[in-house]
Structure 1
Amino acid sequence: MNIRDIETFQAAIPLKKQFKTALRTVTIAESVVVKVTCDNGVIGFGEAPPTHVITGDSLASVDYMLTEVFKPLLIGESLLYREQLFEKIQTAAVGNTSAKAALDMALYDCIAQQARMPLAQFLGGYHETIETDYTVSVNSPGEMAEDAQQYVNDGFSVLKVKVGKDLIKTDVARIQAIREQIGSDVFIRLDANQGWDAKGAVKAIRQMEDLGLDIELIEQPVKAHDLEGLKYVTDHTDTPIMADESVFSPMDAKRVLEMRAADLINIKLMKTGGIHQALKIAKLAQIYGVDCMVGSMIETKIGITAAAHFAASQPNVTRYDFDAPLMLADDLIEGGITYKGSSIDLGGKTGLGIKAVHQDYVRID
């Protein structure tokens, strides 16, 4: 089974509501979709959204890497030697993790289809069902409390709340308002997106602990490069701390794990460069007895389907942040995962189970 063609398309789908974090505001989900066609007719899909403030990738850079670098390198190559393929992808360029991830997931889609297995089973087959959280975007305390209540009404029992954009006292007020609104039965996890410094993070977290706000975990409280600061927060608070932007590669994960700089790791395919590298991070974390969450950028159901299959395959992936498609005004694909409230059904089809990409939101270059 050899690679016959690699094609790219650009897609753009409006969000139902602005998505705001400490790093950016998003109103439209843009993405580069990649389609890999094999000589036996098997077709695999992947995608890469541009997330300049995290990965440094843009629509133009992703498309260039896929069409001008990876395509000439991989056309005619056999998927039966996948370790060689993924090594070529990783060593062909420094960085460019989103473009690598898009191609990686499309290749895994093809490989699992050829094996006649859903990708989750091909990768390990551990979890049968997974449940996503829903993200509360950064706004005023009152608006965030109203949004949180709506998501709980929609069937979500875990909320991921964005903080880190304003003063610490404002963040504490946000969480107080949300907890008062939704009660004590709903899990709240926070994501500061690098918005605090180490001492400020400890101050904020201790305040929330003293107020009994019952926070499940705090994600990336400090700058990505500040591993000493991350460790300081981890060592000086009782609430579990999760590394996100601090971990792109297996080497990054190794440093965080060796330092005991965080209690948990958030794996995202757009950071790791795809499933092949993400598997290494998950296995390394498992050796250290550390659980992982698998999250995403603002992606369509193509990328989230790939991430969900990876997450369901690993025993130490215990948390899931796959709400992005639910934020979009429409669906880009036919097939893939399906949602019932917070529950995600992988579908049971071979590969990613993607039948078609709808053309309404796709521009063919």
Structure 2
Amino acid sequence: MKIVAVEAISYSIPYRTPLHFASGAVHEADHVLVKVTTEGGVVGWADAPPRPYTYGETQRSIVAVVEDVFAPELVGLSVFDREKAQRIMARTIHNECAKGAVDIAMWDCIGKILGQPVSRLLGGFTDHMRVSHMLGFKPAEELLELALGFRERYGITTFKLKTGRHPIGLDVEAARVLREGLGEDVEIYMDANRGWSANDAAEVLRRTDDLGLTFLEEPDDAREVLGRRRLVTQSRIPITADESAPNMGEAAREILTGGANMLAVKTARTGFTESAKVVAFAEAAGVDVYVGNQIDTQVGTVASVVFGAALAHTARRAGELSNFLDMTDDLLAEPLTIKDGAIRVPEVAGVGTQIDPDKLEKYRLR
């Protein structure tokens, strides 16, 4: 079943409120929808979220690399030849989100051709993923009110606290208020998005040692090599590599050289094929993983659910799957629902990323 077209469609959907993190804020989902079409008319979809301040990709760069660089080489290739496609795309350095979206769209085609859910083809471990919701950059009492609301409405009991502002003041206070207000049965972890120094992070860990935090993600820039490795050695909770491990090679480097002892896996940047390799490495190395969020739409979130539920190692922890709740609309034909703190895997052939054509026409930019 040969590929006859690979397209990249830019679109924009506003958020209800901006999403803030240490390196910036996102006001709109200025994403790229990748479409792979086979000679039999089967269509696969995937979402590519540009994050220029993290990975260097922009909406325009994703469109350009997919249509001008990848498409000419991929057209004519069998959609089942995933490793050949990986080798073709690997010749172009970086551009992780563009590569990941092409891979997921190919998997969507494969599942539809075989008449099987992709989650089952990847491993089929479970039929749902528990949800972690991200909080941050608001006064502590407001964060607690939001968390209580999400627990009451959606049954969510895992929360990620986005930090990286004032480590000893606002960030520590927010963690303490959340723990005291949510109780001991709720999981809380922090993500500084490289916003602190290693010494700042060490002090935060000291001051929050009694709060039972699960782990700390990207406390400082991984290029602060000695400080980062000292922090990993001294910390009583895992230090996670996320944006410092955007692909398989860099994930292995961070773990093997002591830059982290836990990994975030994001299908938006490593697709399904490379993400599975990252998880296999982590499992062999005895390192925990969790499914992260690249401020995903519902289209991107479905891919995370499908992958995370497929493997035992990723299904152990809640995945970051709820950022789409902050969007004013979405492109998915069948909207996602969070019930009892989880999202179920779509019981359809493919990934489950069927696009609403009217919404695509409304929000597309070209």
In structure 2, what residue type is equivalent to 1:225?
Answer: R
Q: Distance in 2 between matches of 1:306 and 1:227?
A: 33
Match of residue 308 from structure 2? 311
Q: Does 1:325 align with 2:324?
A: yes
CA RMSD of aligned residues (A): 1.7
Match of residue 53 from structure 1? 53
In structure 2, what residue type is equivalent to 1:104?
Answer: D
Match of residue 41 from structure 2? 41
Q: When the two structures are superposed, what TM-score results if normalisation uses the length of structure 2? A: 0.93
- Pairs within 5 Å for 1:1-365: 1-91=1-91, 93-154=92-153, 155-209=155-209, 212-272=210-270, 274-317=271-314, 318-319=316-317, 320-335=319-334, 338-360=337-359, 361-363=362-364, 365=366
Larger mean Cα displacement after TM superposition, 99-108 or 309-318: 309-318
In structure 2, what residue type is equivalent to 1:30?
Answer: D
Q: Secondary structure at the match of 2:274?
A: helix
Q: Distance in 2 between matches of 1:258 and 1:297?
A: 25
Structure 1 stretches lacking a partner, 5+ long: none
Q: Deviations over 1:29-80 (max 9, x none)?
A: 1210011111111110011111111111101101111111111111121123
In structure 1, what residue type is equivalent to 2:205?
Answer: I
Counterpart contact for 1:193–1:219, Cα < 8 Å: yes
Q: Secondary structure at the match of 1:184?
A: coil
In structure 1, what residue type is equivalent to 2:231?
Answer: V
Q: Distance in 1 between matches of 2:235 and 2:352?
A: 43
Q: Deviations over 1:218-256 (max 9, x none)?
A: 111111333443322221121222111121122112222
Counterpart contact for 2:128–2:309, Cα < 8 Å: yes
Quote how far apart the aligned CAs of 1:9 are.
1.8
Q: Distance in 2 between matches of 1:64 and 1:157?
A: 41
C-alpha change, 1:308 and 1:228, in structure 2 (3 Å) is farther
Quote how far apart the aligned CAs of 1:136 are.
0.5
Quote how far apart the aligned CAs of 1:120 are.
0.9
Counterpart contact for 2:245–2:251, Cα < 8 Å: yes
Counterpart contact for 1:337–1:347, Cα < 8 Å: no
In structure 2, what residue type is equivalent to 1:362?
Answer: Y
Q: Deviations over 1:167-191 (max 9, x none)?
A: 4222111112222222222111111
Q: Distance in 2 between matches of 1:271 and 1:233?
A: 26
Q: Distance in 1 between matches of 2:57 and 2:345?
A: 28
Quote how far apart the aligned CAs of 1:143 are.
2.2
Q: Secondary structure at the match of 1:316?
A: helix
In structure 2, what residue type is equivalent to 1:171?
Answer: D
Q: Secondary structure at the match of 1:297?
A: coil
Q: Distance in 2 between matches of 1:250 and 1:227?
A: 19
Quote how far apart the aligned CAs of 1:95 are.
0.7
Q: Secondary structure at the match of 2:215?
A: strand
Q: Distance in 2 between matches of 1:120 and 1:223?
A: 34
Counterpart contact for 1:265–1:290, Cα < 8 Å: yes
In structure 2, what residue type is equivalent to 1:207?
Answer: R
